[in-house]
Amino acid sequence: MMNFVGAIFLAALVLAGIYFFAMTPEAPPQGQPSPHALDQ
């Protein structure tokens, strides 16, 4: 059972990483409510 849970967790982590790296470069500047927070 632990192997199944581990596989699900790993799959979710991989999908999260793919979405993160896919969305970050093309994220619109106005999508962030506080752009000044990035300067800190």
Q: Per-residue pLDDT tens for 14-30? A: 999 888 877 766 555 55
pLDDT at 8: 94
pLDDT at 6: 92
pLDDT at 20: 82
pLDDT at 28: 55
Query: What mean pLDDT do residues 1-22 have?
Result: 89
> Exposed e or buried b for every residue in 12-34, given b needs 16+ CB within 10 A?
eeeeeeeeeeeeeeeeeeeeeee
Higher pLDDT, 21 or 34: 21
